[in-house]
Structure 1
Amino acid sequence: MMLIEEASVPDEVLPLAAFKAHLRLGTGFAQDDVQDPVLKSFLKAALAAVEARTGKALISRAFSWSVTRWRDPSAESLPIAPVRVIEALEICDADGADLIMSPDCYALEIDSQRPKIIARGGGFGSIPFGGKASIRFQAGFGPQWSDLPDDLAQAVFLLAAHYYEYRDETSLTRGCMPFGVQTLIERYRPMRLFAGARA
C-alpha cells in the first residue's frame, strides 16, 4: 500500500501576511520579505504535521493510493479524508499494462474519517500477481486557506509559530507538538475501535 501526494500545496495559498501578523513581525521596512522563505517552510511543515496527526488533507490537491490486493473486493478504504472526487481507478499488471475502469463501475462513499471507493455490481475484479490497483482522487477541505475549519487553521498557525520560536532548539522536550495544538486537532483524529484497529 502506498499513498502518494501528486501535487504539493502551492506557495500562493499559504496565508503569509496573516502568519506574519500572528507572529507580530514588524512591517513597513525595506526588507520585509527577507524571512518569507523561512516562514513558508514553517507553514508547510506545520500543515504536514497536522495532516499526519489527523489523517486529513487540509488544502485540496491530488493523491493516489496504490494497493497490491483488495482488503475487501467490494470496497476499499482510502487513507486520507475528506475525499471530494475519485478521478480514476486503474488496475496494472506485472508488465505495466493498465486497465482503466469505467467510472460506472465504482462510486465514492463520503465519510469524514474513512471515505471509501465502492464497487458497483460484482466487485472491482482481481489484481494480477505482481500488479497493483491505483486510485487517483482529490482530497482536502478546499483549494484556499479560507476553506479550512477555523480550529485547524489556528492549529497550523500555533504549530508554525512554535517551529519559528524554537527553530534553533534541538532538544525533544520543546520539539514535540504543543498541548494547545493537540487540543485543537483532537476531534479530527481518526477514531479507533476494536482494540486499536481503524474503523
Structure 2
Amino acid sequence: MMLTEQTPVPEAALPLEPFKAHLRLGTGFGEASLQDEVLISFLRAAVASIEARTGKVLISRQFDLNLHQWQDPVAQPLPLVPVTTIGSVVMIDADAVEQTLAPDQYRLIADSQKPQLCASGGVLPTVATGGAVRISMTAGMGAGWGALPADLGQAVLMLAAHYYQYRDDTGLSGGCMPFGVTSLIERYRVVRLSLGRMQ
C-alpha cells in the first residue's frame, strides 16, 4: 500500500495573520513580511504533526492510494479521515494498462473513524496478478481554516509557535509535543484495538 498526497495544503488556507497575532509580532513595519516564508513552514509542520497524531486530515486536498490487492474485496478500508469524495478507481493490469471503473460500481462509506470503499453490489473487481489499483480521493475537514473546529485550529497555532520559539534548539526529541497541544487534540485521536487492548 502506498498513500501519496497529490496536492499540498494551499498557502492561502494557512492562518498566517492569526499566527502572527498569536506570536505577537509587530505590524506596520516595512519588513513585516520578511518572516512569512519561515512562519508558513512552521504552520505546515504543525499541520502535518497534528494530522499524524490525530489521524485526521485538516485541510482538504487530493490523495492517491495505490494497492496491489484489496484488503477486503467487499469493503476496502481507507487510511484517511475524513474522506469526502472518491474521484476515481483505476484498475491497472500487469502491462500497466489502466481501466477506470464506472462510478456505479463502488460507493464511499464516509465513516468518521473508518471510511471504506465498498462494492455497489457483490465484490470489488479482482486486481490482476502483477497489477494494482489506484484510488483517487479528497480528504479533509474543510477547504479553509475557518472550517476547522476551534480546538484543532488553536492546537496548530500553539504547536507552530512552539516550533518557532525553539527553532534553534536541536536537543528536543522527535516526539516532543507541548501538553497544551496534546490535551486539545486528545478527543480527535483514533482509538485502535489490539489484542483486546485500546491504544
Shorter-normalised TM range: over 0.9
Structure 1 gap ranges (5+): none
Partner of residue 81, structure 1: 81
Partner of residue 56, structure 2: 56
CA distance in 2, matches of 1:176, 1:88: 38
Task: Say which SS state the counterpart of residue 66 (structure 1) adopts.
Answer: strand
* RMSD over aligned Cα atoms: 1.8
Identity %, equivalent residues: 53
Give the CA deviation at 1:93.
1.0
Structure 2 gap ranges (5+): none
Alignment of 1:149-164 (within 5 A): 149-164=149-164
Give the CA deviation at 1:72.
0.7
CA distance in 1, matches of 2:52, 2:39: 20
- Structure 1 runs of 4+ aligned residues shifted over 6 Å read none
Q: How many residues align?
A: 199
Post-superposition Cα deviations, 1:58-77, rounded to whole Å, max 9, x if no partner, equal 00011111111111110111
Task: Say which SS state the counterpart of residue 172 (structure 1) adopts.
Answer: coil
TM score, norm. by length of structure 1 = 0.95
Partner of residue 122, structure 2: 122
Post-superposition Cα deviations, 1:26-70, rounded to whole Å, max 9, x if no partner, equal 111110001100000000000011111111110001111111111
CA distance in 2, matches of 1:44, 1:195: 35
Alignment-mate amino acid for residue 56 of structure 1? K
Partner of residue 39, structure 2: 39
CA distance in 2, matches of 1:110, 1:57: 13
CA distance in 1, matches of 2:195, 2:31: 54
Alignment-mate amino acid for residue 55 of structure 2? G
Partner of residue 180, structure 1: 180
TM score, norm. by length of structure 2 = 0.95
Post-superposition Cα deviations, 1:68-116, rounded to whole Å, max 9, x if no partner, equal 1111110111101111111101110121101111110111101111111
- Are the aligned partners of 1:166 and 1:174 in contact in 2 as well (CA < 8 Å)? no
Partner of residue 68, structure 2: 68
CA distance in 1, matches of 2:81, 2:58: 9
